[in-house]
Amino acid sequence: METMKNLTVACLKQVIKPRPKQSHKGIFGKILIIGGNKNMGGAVIMSASATVHAGAGLVTCATDSSNFFALHARLPEAMVVDHSDFEALTQAIKQADTIVIGPGLGLDKLAKQILKITLTAIDPTTTLIIDGSAITLLAQQNDPLRPTCQVIYTPHQVEWARLSGLALTEQLPQANQSAQQKLAAHVVLKKYHTEIYHLDNTLSRLPIGGPYMATGGMGDTLTGIIAAFMGQFKTLAPADVLDAAVYLHSAIASDLSQSKYVVLPTDIIEHLQTFMAQFS
């Protein structure tokens, strides 16, 4: 097993660059966020907001129609699709180059149908970020569908236990990497000092972040940042882009914690553009 490297601010300097003068929204990622049932609309709003503020070119939310008004009010930059309209959902999946599925999706029959459609319709060239409910749904399947595209799982430790079969006490780097390689995907294991297991067998650790980030929606915000980075920095190595996205999320929180007892996901979202500007 390779040595796990500690990430530093250098990973941001390596990825975040000035944008070309000849640019348009289509080259900075066409992102689809799938999630947000009637009870958890906030999850998809935070994920989509982070995606927009982290620089994605076009963002669409496939969500429960009860969330449309709130999404339009909070994030007019995003488009919406009713995720129970399977024809429209399939079309949105095929048009996206980066997809997030899971924030606030739920575990009911509709959620299972949405996950199946996503895994079936997705293009092999698309990047798929699987988070929250979608991880649990996959773990519950005896013979789960495995997407053929580039996949990034973003579990916390309990979700990772479900997906990998490793109890919390067994989640040591070598065992984690073995399970990750069997999944043939990147894994962002969210914990104190988050660990990132890459497809190229490299490992990264986040030495920043803290208990001031322990609040609902923090993971949804991270998935949005990851989606934005994977969508707009396509020419760079995926491992480097993923490392930078994860580091950025905690770096902003760390800065804000100097004056805040608790850092909210919306605080991080609000500061994304200004923080990224330091490197462009």
Mean pLDDT of 186-206: 97
pLDDT of residue 84: 98
Nearest to 245, CA basis, from 19, 42, 50: 50
Is 191 annotated as contributing to ligand binding?
yes
Instruction: Return the DSSP state at 171.
Output: -
Q: Per the annotation, does 271 bind a ligand? A: no
d(CA 66, CA 71): 10
User: Whose CA is closest to 127, among 90, 89, 97?
Assistant: 97
Which residue stretches of 20-108 are H helix?
41-53, 68-74, 86-95
Instruction: Establish whether 72 is an annotated binding residue.
Output: no
What's the pLDDT tens digit per position in 151-174? 999 999 999 999 999 999 999 999
What gap in Å lies between CA 250 and CA 244, rounded to an integer? Answer: 10
**Per-residue confidence band for 3, with pLDDT thresholds at 50, 70 and 90:** confident
Q: Which domains does the chain have, with CATH numbers?
A: 4-275 (3.40.1190.20)
CA distance 101 to 199: 20
- What kind and span of H or E run contains 130? strand 127-130
Give the pLDDT of residue 146. 80
Within 97-237, where are the H helices? 109-121, 132-140, 157-164, 173-183, 218-232
Indicate the average pLDDT of the chain.
96
Residue 194 annotated as binding? yes
| Side chain identity at residue 71, one-letter code | L
Question: Among 103, 114, 130, 106, which Cα is nearest to 184's?
Answer: 130
Q: Tell me how far apart the alpha carbons of residues 85 and 43 are, in angstroms, rounded to a whole number.
A: 20
Write phi, then psi, for 233 (nearest 5 degrees).
Answer: -115, 50
**pLDDT digit string (tens) for 30-74?**
999 999 999 999 999 999 999 999 999 999 999 999 999 999 999
Asked if residue 104 belongs to a known ligand binding site, the reply is yes
Q: Which amino acid is it at 153?
A: Y
Query: What confidence tens digit (pLDDT) does each residue in 227-256 have?
Result: 999 999 999 999 999 999 999 999 999 999
Does 192 carry a binding-site annotation? yes
199-225 tens-digit pLDDT: 999 999 999 999 999 999 999 999 999
Tell me whether residue 118 is annotated as binding: no
Q: Which residue has 């979608």 as its token pair? A: 134
For the beta carbon of residue 211, count every other beta carbon within 10 angstroms: 11
Largest CA-CA distance found in the chain, in angstroms, rounded: 51
